[in-house]
Amino acid sequence: MTDVVSLLGQIEDTGRDPRGPGYVRPGYSRVERELRDWFIAEAESRGFDVEIDHNGITWAWVTAPGENAVVTGSHLDSVPGGGEFDGPLGVASALAAVDQLRESGRLARARRPLAIAVFPEEEGSRFGLSCLGSRLLTGAVGPKRALALTDERGDTFADVLRSHGLDPERVGRDDERLGRIGSFLELHVEQGVGLVRTDQPVAIGSSIIGHGRWHIRYEGEGNHAGTTPMAQRADPVVAAARIIGDIPTIVGRYDGAVATVGRTRVHPGGTNVIASAMDLWLDIRHPDDEVVQDVIEEIARRARDRASGAGYRGHDVQVTVDQESYSPTTHFGADLTQRLSALLPDAPLQASGAGHDAGILAAHVPSAMLYVRNPTGVSHAPEEACEDDDARAGVIALADALAMELGVEGDGEGGAGPGGAGRADGQGDEEHRA
Ligand SMILES: [Zn+2]
C-alpha cells in the first residue's frame, strides 16, 4: 500500500514555477502530460486497465468496466502559480484509497465496478473554460464552441488535441460513458478556512456556488507615448483601470458576492506605446444566480459609462462584454450527501466557492465531494497546504465512502478483511439524479 504523502512526493518537482514558488501545470501541456503519465504508470502497476477517452479524460478501471460504476478522481492541471494540492491530492488519494480497499479485503467483495478518472484542463487556465473535460463529456459545452477556443499563443483547442493524439472530430458528449457512472466522488483540498479552526480534517460538500467568467475588451487608439497630448488620447488602459477600481464598491452592495479581475492583457504592450486595446477577464460568484446576473449587468453598464472619458477627444474607448462560461449553483445529490454524513458524522457540510468537475457531473449523475483541511486557507497560490496526517485522514474517509458505494462498508482500515463485517445493503443503486 502506498502512502498518499509519498505518492504526492513523486510529483512534487513536476511543473514547479521557474519564476518563483508554486506550480505551473497548464492543461494539455508537457507538464500535464508528464503528470498523467505518472498516474497511468501508478495505475498500471496496480493492474488497472487504463484508457483515454475521446475527450481526453483518463479512466483507470480498478475492476472490470461495467454499468453503475463508482468513480472517483480529480485533475492534475493547475492555475499559473498554483499550489501543490489542488487536483493532485484527489488523484493521489484515489490511488491510496483503492489500495486501502484492496488491503482490507473490501475490493474483492465490491458489488459495483470501480474506476478512477483524471479530468484534463479543469482550471480552464489555458482555454478560458473551466472543467473542459467534464463539460465535453456531459455536453455542457458543445464541440463546435470548444474546438474554436484559443490559448494565449493563438493555438485552437482543436490544434492542441491533434498534437496530443486526439481526434477533434470525436470530441463531445458521450452518453455511453456518462451512463456507466453510477456515482462520482471527488476528494479535494479545501480552498478556504472552513476547517481551520475545527478539529475535523475532512468536510463534505453540500453545494458549489454559481460562478461565471466574462471577457471585457476595451478598444481605443494606439499612439506614441511622447507625442500624443493627454487630451487627445483614447487610452483603453485608463478606461479599464476605472472599472477595475469600481468593482469592489459595486460588488460590495450584494451580500455574499465576490468578483475578481485576475488576468489582463494590454495590446500591444510597450512602455512607450499608448495601448490600442486592453482585455480583462472577470470572475463573479454568488449562491443566487440572479445576483450574479445583476452584478455583471451593473459592471457592464458602469464599464460603458466610465469608458467615455473627460479630456478625451471625440471618440470614446469602445467596450464589449462577452460571457465565456457560466455554471449555476450546484447542489450535490441529497441522497449521496446524506449517506456520506451518516458515514462521517463529525464531518461538517460545506458550500464551496470553487468550481469542480464533480459540480459539472452532478447535473447528470449522483456526485459528492470531500474536502481535506488546508491550514493556510489559501488556494490557487503557492501557500496552499495540506498536513500529512490530514491527507491520510482524507484517504481513509474516501476509502470508506467508496466502500459504502460499492456495498461493502463496515471493515474500515485494517479491518477484518474478506468475510469480515461488511454490510452490503446495495444502497445507491437506484439513484440516478443528483
Ligand atoms: Zn481543483
Taking only the tens place, the pLDDT of each residue in 347-366 is: 999 988 898 999 999 999 99
What per-residue confidence (pLDDT) applies to 306? 85
Using the 8-state DSSP alphabet, how is residue 13 labeled?
A: T
Query: If you measure from the C-alpha of residue 303 to the centroid of ligand 1, how many angstroms do you get, rounded to a whole number?
Result: 31
- What is the band of 419 on the pLDDT scale with cuts at 50, 70, 90? very low
What per-residue confidence (pLDDT) applies to 421? 34
Query: If you measure from the C-alpha of residue 122 to the centroid of ligand 1, how many angstroms do you get, rounded to a whole number?
Result: 7
- State mean pLDDT over 339-346: 97
pLDDT digits 0-9 by tens, 247-283: 999 999 999 999 999 999 999 999 999 999 999 999 9
Query: If you measure from the C-alpha of residue 172 to the centroid of ligand 1, how many angstroms do you get, rounded to a whole number?
Result: 22
Specify the pairing of strand 58-61 against strand 49-52: antiparallel
Query: If you measure from the C-alpha of residue 71 to the centroid of ligand 1, how many angstroms do you get, rounded to a whole number?
Result: 17
Query: If you measure from the C-alpha of residue 419 to the centroid of ligand 1, how many angstroms do you get, rounded to a whole number?
Result: 37
Burial of 268 (0-12, 13-18, 19+ CB in 10 A): exposed
- State mean pLDDT over 305-325: 76
pLDDT greater than 50 at residue 429: no
Which residues, including other chains, have CB under 8 Å from residue 321's CB and lie 6 or more apart? 214, 215, 216, 296, 299, 300, 303
Query: If you measure from the C-alpha of residue 356 to the centroid of ligand 1, how many angstroms do you get, rounded to a whole number?
Result: 6
Query: If you measure from the C-alpha of residue 14 to the centroid of ligand 1, how many angstroms do you get, rounded to a whole number?
Result: 17
Query: If you measure from the C-alpha of residue 315 to the centroid of ligand 1, how many angstroms do you get, rounded to a whole number?
Result: 44
Instruction: List the end-to-end C-alpha distance of the chain, in Å, as a whole number.
Output: 33
What per-residue confidence (pLDDT) applies to 1? 63
pLDDT digits 0-9 by tens, 243-253: 999 999 999 99
- State mean pLDDT over 92-105: 97
- State mean pLDDT over 177-188: 97
Query: In the predicted model, what is the mean pLDDT of the chain?
Result: 91
- What is the band of 210 on the pLDDT scale with cuts at 50, 70, 90? confident
What per-residue confidence (pLDDT) applies to 156? 97
What cell was used for 198? 475545527
Query: If you measure from the C-alpha of residue 209 to the centroid of ligand 1, how many angstroms do you get, rounded to a whole number?
Result: 15
Query: If you measure from the C-alpha of residue 238 to the centroid of ligand 1, how many angstroms do you get, rounded to a whole number?
Result: 34
Query: If you measure from the C-alpha of residue 133 to the centroid of ligand 1, how many angstroms do you get, rounded to a whole number?
Result: 13
Query: If you measure from the C-alpha of residue 87 to the centroid of ligand 1, how many angstroms do you get, rounded to a whole number?
Result: 4
- State mean pLDDT over 142-152: 95
Cis peptide before 348 (omega within 30 of 0): no
Query: If you measure from the C-alpha of residue 359 to the centroid of ligand 1, how many angstroms do you get, rounded to a whole number?
Result: 11
Query: pLDDT higher for 413 or 376?
Result: 376
Query: If you measure from the C-alpha of residue 156 to the centroid of ligand 1, how many angstroms do you get, rounded to a whole number?
Result: 23
What cell was used for 371? 474536502
What per-residue confidence (pLDDT) applies to 410? 63
Query: If you measure from the C-alpha of residue 432 to the centroid of ligand 1, how many angstroms do you get, rounded to a whole number?
Result: 25
Query: If you measure from the C-alpha of residue 210 to the centroid of ligand 1, how many angstroms do you get, rounded to a whole number?
Result: 16
- What is the band of 184 on the pLDDT scale with cuts at 50, 70, 90? very high
- State mean pLDDT over 85-103: 98
What per-residue confidence (pLDDT) applies to 112? 97
